[in-house]
């Protein structure tokens, strides 16, 4: 997959109708937006298109309406809030069929620099199946297509891939460009030493990521629940810790692969253990630290231990590029967040390019107050994982090459 894509800076949109796919999948509570990060993140691309005199038609999905109009998942509140953020009216085309009479009339009446927002693209069942009819309707509204929604880049839907294939000019917006620059290039062309840190619960979720990153990085650090499957594969006593028994052979293969490639694969040397998983997740909990090869039978490991945290932080200090995906333990619990905090702190203090691959690690870094110290925090969970797997992302591939 070529990562050299045309962007909004490479085209002239004056007087043209521009359909811009954004990620406005924001949390709503009783019709109010409770977190507007995604709206704010979309503003630079939208402002650029307005300033260049485009007729800007925005579209996005919201939640999972499963192909039918659900009033509680309407994008109407987004149009209202965007109007305030942009300081100009964002006209809402309230068509349950998305491309309906309101949308067509609104587009017809547009002047250069006007903005309209279409209704939730997932009101249409064909959206997630990339059905040609809906792609054609979207394409009929525009001369140019801009994709700025990285969160859905790993899916081939009408509003990101189908429509891109039906217009002559399809480019990426600033958010997408940043994801390609950081995530894509970190993996394909990193400044070395390149350290990758993987955490999270299950090995199964990260099979291809582990394998692909071993080929690309210099050091691979494993933490989180998935570390215990690796430790069991080494023949260690892991007590009642989470284990992916079907993946033990895979973990052995990966350790052999690391050795063959001369890569450093770091596993925990100690663990923070408790009698049971905290319930609720942030409940007070009694913990002890044990060596990683001798966790007592009735105890479960729930975070990396202090020695491990120190080793991992040291490994980060020598890096020039660091990619991190997945927490080191049950970070939602203050007692079990220390490993994740230690890694986040090490990343915050390094001069290396630091890239957080979406999902839980993004939430952890922001919650811990280290967000502004990272070079890049990905906006896509699933999409960033597939980027790290070395897969082609349909939403990126569909844009015109430079």
Residues making up the binding site: 23-25, 38, 61-64, 122, 155, 206, 301, 332, 358-361
| Positions at the binding site for ATP | 206, 301, 332, 358-361
382 is an active site residue: yes
Check if the beta carbon of residue 155 is closer than 8 Å to that of residue 129: no
* Strand order from edge to edge, sheet including 300-304: 288-291, 270-274, 300-304
> By C-alpha distance, which of 304, 295, 303, 288 is closest to 239?
295
Q: Under a CB-based contact definition with an 8 Å cutoff, are residues 294 and 237 in contact?
A: yes
Helix, coil or strand: residue 58? strand
d(CA 121, CA 128): 9
The H-assigned helical ranges of 15-142 are: 37-51, 76-86, 101-108, 132-140
Please say whether the beta carbons of 252 and 233 come within 8 A. yes
Binding-site annotation, residues for substrate: 23-25, 38, 61-64, 122, 155
Q: Check if 390 is active-site.
A: no
Name the catalytic one among 184, 359, 380, 381.
Answer: 359
Looking at 53, 113, 382, 390, which residue is catalytic?
382
Closest CA to 322 of 247, 375, 260, 284: 375
Catalytic residue among 5, 16, 38, 232: 38
Q: What's the CA gap between 335 and 383, in Å, rounded?
A: 31
- By residue count, the chain amounts to 402
* d(C-alpha 241, C-alpha 225), whole Å: 8
Q: What is the DSSP letter of 373?
A: G
> Which one of 136, 202, 257, 391 is the catalytic residue?
202
307 catalytic per annotation: no
Strand partners, 155: none
Which residues, in sequence order, are bridge partners of residue 59?
21
**Separation CA 312–CA 310 (nearest Å):** 5
As a whole number of angstroms, the distance between CA 283 and CA 383 comes to 32
Would residue 192 show up in a list of annotated catalytic residues for this protein? no
Of the candidates 308, 92, 59, the one whose C-alpha atom is nearest the C-alpha of residue 164 is 59
Long-range contacts of 359-364 (CB under 8 A, 24+ apart): 359/200, 359/325, 359/326, 359/384, 359/385, 360/200, 360/326, 360/327, 360/331, 361/199, 361/324, 361/325, 361/326, 361/327, 364/327, 364/331, 364/337, 364/340
The residues that are catalytic are 38, 202, 359, 382
């Amino acid at each position: 997959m070529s990562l050299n894509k045309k962007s909004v800076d490479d085209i002239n949109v004056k007087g043209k109708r521009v359909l811009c796919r954004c990620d406005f999948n924001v949390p709503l509570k009783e019709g109010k937006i409770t977190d507007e990060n995604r709206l704010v993140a979309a503003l630079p691309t939208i402002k650029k298109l307005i300033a260049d005199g485009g007729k800007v038609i925005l579209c996005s999905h919201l939640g999972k309406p499963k192909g039918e109009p659900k009033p509680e998942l309407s994008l109407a509140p987004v149009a209202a809030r965007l109007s305030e953020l942009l300081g100009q009216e964002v006209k809402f085309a309230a068509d349950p069929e998305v491309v309906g009479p309101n949308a067509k009339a609104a587009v017809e009446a547009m002047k250069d620099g006007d903005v309209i927002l279409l209704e939730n693209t997932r009101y249409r069942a064909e959206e997630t199946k990339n059905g040609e009819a809906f792609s054609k309707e979207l394409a009929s509204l525009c001369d140019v297509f801009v994709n700025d929604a990285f969160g859905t880049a790993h899916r081939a839907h009408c509003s990101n891939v189908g429509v891109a294939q039906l217009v002559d000019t399809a480019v990426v917006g600033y958010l997408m460009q940043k994801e390609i620059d950081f995530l894509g290039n970190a993996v394909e062309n990193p400044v070395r030493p390149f350290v990758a840190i993987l955490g999270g619960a299950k090995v199964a979720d990260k099979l291809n990521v582990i394998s692909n990153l071993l080929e690309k990085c210099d050091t691979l650090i494993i933490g989180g629940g998935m570390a215990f499957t690796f430790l069991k594969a080494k023949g260690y006593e892991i007590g009642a810790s989470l284990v992916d028994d079907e993946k033990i052979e895979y973990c052995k293969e990966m350790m052999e692969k690391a050795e063959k490639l001369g890569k450093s694969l770091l596993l925990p040397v100690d663990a923070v253990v408790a009698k049971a998983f905290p319930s609720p997740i942030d409940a007070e909990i009694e913990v002890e630290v044990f060596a990683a090869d001798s966790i007592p039978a009735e105890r479960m490991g729930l975070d990396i231990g202090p020695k491990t945290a120190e080793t991992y932080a040291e490994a980060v200090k020598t890096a020039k590029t660091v990619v991190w995906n997945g927490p080191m333990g049950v970070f939602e619990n203050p007692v079990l967040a220390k490993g994740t905090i230690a890694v986040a702190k090490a990343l915050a203090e390094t001069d290396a390019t630091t890239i957080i691959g979406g999902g839980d690690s993004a939430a952890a870094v922001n919650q811990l107050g280290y967000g502004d110290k990272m070079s890049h925090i990905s906006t896509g969970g699933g999409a960033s994982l597939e980027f790290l797997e070395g897969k082609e992302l349909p939403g990126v591939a569909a844009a015109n090459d430079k």
